[in-house]
């Protein structure tokens, strides 16, 4: 049997050309805002998120933020970062994802150790669900405090954005289905820009579908701030990672191609 190398991932640019990690990092150093798209249970993406954060922190004024924390959990997250509460208390006060300890705690602990801001950017899930079930008008009945945890209402929504159009087709024309996705994207964009500081680099972690094909969060960011430098990263799975498949071309500035049989952090 002829032995072959078995890389855990190969990094590509948006045109499908292989690039070195160092080259990607040099590009990311110039960014104001970076959207790092992941599969939530992919160990390679989670490992590289921490590596990128550590390396950028050596050369830029770094800020972190994530979809995995909802905006109404910012206060307990801040308290943890300041050392005012411990991990167990954070778990009682914030809605931590089931894979927090394996996949996100390393990022939060890194922010804590280096006194970096970590922003909870997502809309509380219950309000996105409310929009889907009851329609946009149902959000008008929320309190001012509840509305402060989401993008200002009413928010712009374009059903012709390809990712939303695809969701509309799946939902047999029910616009509240893609609109519930869009309010997440709009809210994450809102809080990224609210907390972004000039001269810093904001590294944001989100599911790949929230920023793939330069849509989702990035579409909203560019509607509000055209003068900032944005870069995107995504994660894809392939049976053979030696060449980027056509369907994955152009998904992001940098594409982490991972073998389909890579172990998962959870099922």
**62 falls within a domain:** yes
pLDDT score recorded for residue 2: 56
**186 falls within a domain:** yes
Number of C-beta neighbours around residue 155 at 10 A: 18
Question: pLDDT tens digits for the chain (267 residues)?
Answer: 555 788 999 999 999 999 999 999 999 999 999 999 999 999 999 999 999 999 999 999 999 999 999 999 999 999 999 999 999 999 999 999 999 999 999 999 999 999 999 999 999 999 999 999 999 999 999 999 999 999 999 999 999 999 999 999 988 889 999 999 999 999 999 999 999 999 999 999 999 999 999 999 999 999 999 999 999 999 999 999 999 999 999 999 999 999 999 999 998
- 141: domain CATH number? 3.40.50.11550
**85 falls within a domain:** yes
Q: Cα dihedral sign for 8, 12, 14, 17?
A: negative
Q: For the chain, how many structural domains are there in total?
A: 1
**174 falls within a domain:** yes
**264 falls within a domain:** no
**218 falls within a domain:** yes
**6 falls within a domain:** no
**254 falls within a domain:** no
Cα 267 to Cα 14, 105, 263: the distances in Å are: 29, 19, 10
């Amino acid at each position: 049997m002829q032995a072959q190398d078995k890389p855990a991932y190969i990094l590509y640019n948006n045109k499908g050309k292989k690039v070195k990690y160092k080259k990607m990092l040099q590009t990311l150093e110039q960014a104001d805002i970076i959207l790092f798209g992941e599969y939530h249970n992919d160990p390679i993406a989670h490992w590289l998120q921490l590596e990128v954060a550590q390396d950028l922190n050596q050369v830029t004024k770094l800020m972190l933020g994530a979809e995995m924390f909802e905006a109404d959990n910012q206060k307990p997250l801040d308290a943890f970062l300041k050392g005012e509460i411990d991990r167990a208390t954070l778990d009682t006060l914030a809605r931590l994802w089931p894979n927090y300890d394996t996949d996100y705690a390393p990022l939060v602990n890194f922010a804590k150790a280096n006194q970096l801001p970590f922003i909870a950017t997502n809309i509380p899930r219950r309000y996105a669900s409310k929009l889907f079930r009851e329609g946009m008008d149902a959000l008008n009945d929320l309190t001012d405090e509840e509305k402060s945890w989401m993008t200002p209402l009413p928010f712009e929504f374009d059903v012709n954005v390809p990712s939303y159009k695809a969701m509309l087709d799946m939902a047999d024309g029910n616009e509240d289905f893609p609109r519930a996705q869009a309010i997440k994207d709009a809210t994450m964009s809102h809080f990224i820009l609210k907390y972004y500081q000039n001269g810093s680099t904001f590294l944001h972690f989100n599911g790949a579908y929230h920023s793939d094909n330069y849509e989702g969060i990035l579409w909203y960011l560019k509607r509000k701030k055209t003068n900032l430098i944005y870069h995107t990263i995504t994660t894809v799975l392939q049976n053979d990672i030696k060449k980027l498949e056509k369907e994955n071309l152009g998904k992001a500035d940098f594409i982490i191609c991972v073998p389909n049989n890579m172990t998962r952090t959870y099922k």
